[in-house]
């Protein structure tokens, strides 16, 4: 199976001017994403997990093109999106669509549901007859679980779950090849989350979509993803098949994330080991030298401050950015 998307050494940095700084003072660099690389095969789903502030949404927006990347390549069907001007990128924009975290805030309150869903189609295919537009909108509304007779209502008349279904329909009206979901269920009730997740899985299967799914809930990511990528402070810590990463994580950060997910069985919950992350997430304005996770890592050695760890392929496309991962014997402190 060929790669639909290949991201290579992608970095995103922002110039931040500190409050009270003199006008001639040089801005500081905020490193939101640093040298991230991964491949996404056609028809597969890549899950991205990490704490708030780890760079998940920034990475998604850089791929879509709503924010510029600082360096690296975004190869979509062989075309480098990162190094295209806006006019060239417009040709590929219809093939990469995004679903946002807050379903109501993502919808224009002055437009009807029909107008919201049809807007991308009218923008990219202006010659489509009005009758055809209305037909496609009604069919897609029905496909995502909305009654077509609601086409003239406004977003505030819908629940959060219904608004997210409207956002999904809007993203799919152009029949994209890649759908990026930026925490699409985090603002919804648990029962509604399951409905939306199942809908996305059905749509992926029926339409042959490739997906990038961003979430905090590892149980959700495991359910929908083929592979999982773990981000920390803008860097990839570990990447593996979904089942492998959730059952046998190698990186200390991945282990802590897995341990934070509760087990329904109270006996197993009390008896299982629970590695706890100490301290706060460092500021991306001043990230730690070497391994960015070393200030909170229980296995950190003095050498971790000297160099950025390289990926260790431990088999089966399981990549770990830690020389002291679970599969390696602990080294003597100071080595």
For 56, the token pair is 């998940």
Model pLDDT for residues 131-170, shown as the tens digit of each residue: 999 999 999 999 999 999 999 999 999 999 999 999 999 9
pLDDT (0 to 100) of residue 35: 94
Is-contact 212 178, C-beta < 8 A?
Answer: yes
Domains and CATH numbers, the chain: 3-13+28-248 (3.40.50.300)
Quick one: pLDDT band at residue 327, thresholds 50, 70, 90?
low
CB proximity list for 10: less than 8 A, separation 6 or greater: 33, 35, 36, 37, 59, 62, 69, 71, 72, 73, 74, 82
Contact 226, 241 (CB under 8 A): yes
Token readout for 185 is: 């269920």
Residue 218's nearest CA partner among 46, 49, 45, 38 is 49
pTM: 0.90
Residues 6 or more apart from 87 whose CB is under 8 A from it? none
Q: What is the tens place of the pLDDT at every residue in 56-110?
A: 999 999 999 999 999 999 999 989 998 888 888 888 888 999 999 888 888 999 9
The pLDDT of residue 269: 61
C-alpha 320 chain-centroid distance: 19
Residue spans of alpha helices (H) in the chain: 56-64, 86-93, 113-124, 130-143, 160-172, 190-207, 218-224, 242-247, 252-259, 266-271
Distance CA 45, CA 67 (A): 23
Check residue 251 and give its pLDDT: 92
Q: Positive or negative, the Cα torsion across 327, 282, 274, 255? A: negative
- The C-alpha atoms of residue 265 and residue 268 are separated, in whole angstroms, by 6
Structure tokens at 55: 């760079």
pLDDT at 324: 83
| CA distances from residue 20 to 13, 23, 29, 221, 248 in whole angstroms, order as listed | 21, 9, 17, 42, 48
């Amino acid at each position: 199976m060929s790669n639909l998307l290949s991201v290579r050494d992608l970095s995103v940095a922002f110039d931040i001017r500190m409050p009270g700084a003199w006008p001639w003072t040089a801005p500081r660099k905020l490193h939101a994403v640093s040298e991230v690389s991964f491949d996404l095969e056609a028809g597969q789903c890549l899950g991205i997990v990490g704490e708030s502030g780890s760079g998940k949404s920034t990475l998604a927006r850089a791929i879509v093109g709503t924010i510029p990347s600082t360096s690296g390549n975004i190869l979509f069907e062989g075309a480098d999106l990162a190094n295209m001007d806006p006019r060239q990128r417009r040709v590929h924009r219809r093939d990469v669509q995004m679903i946002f975290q807050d379903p109501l805030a993502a919808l224009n309150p002055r437009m009807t549901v029909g107008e919201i869903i049809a807007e991308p189609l009218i923008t990219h295919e202006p010659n489509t007859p009005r009758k055809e537009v209305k037909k496609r909108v009604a069919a897609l509304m029905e496909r995502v679980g909305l009654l077509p007779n609601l086409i003239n209502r406004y977003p505030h008349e819908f629940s959060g779950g219904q608004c997210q279904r409207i956002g999904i329909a809007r993203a799919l009206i152009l029949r994209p090849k890649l759908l990026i979901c930026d925490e699409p269920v985090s603002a919804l009730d648990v029962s509604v989350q399951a409905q939306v997740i199942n809908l996305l899985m059905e749509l992926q299967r029926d339409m042959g979509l490739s997906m990038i799914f961003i979430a905090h809930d590892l149980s959700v990511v495991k359910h929908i993803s083929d592979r999982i990528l773990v981000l920390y402070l803008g860097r990839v810590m570990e990447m593996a098949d979904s089942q492998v990463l959730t059952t046998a994580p190698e990186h200390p950060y991945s282990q802590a994330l897995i341990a934070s997910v509760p087990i329904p069985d109270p006996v197993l919950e009390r008896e299982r080991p629970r590695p706890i992350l100490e301290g706060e997430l460092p500021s991306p304005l001043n990230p730690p030298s070497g391994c960015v996770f070393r200030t909170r890592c229980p296995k950190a050695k003095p050498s971790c401050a000297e160099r950025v760890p390289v990926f260790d392929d431990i088999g089966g496309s399981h990549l770990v950015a830690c020389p002291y991962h679970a599969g390696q014997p602990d080294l003597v402190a100071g080595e």
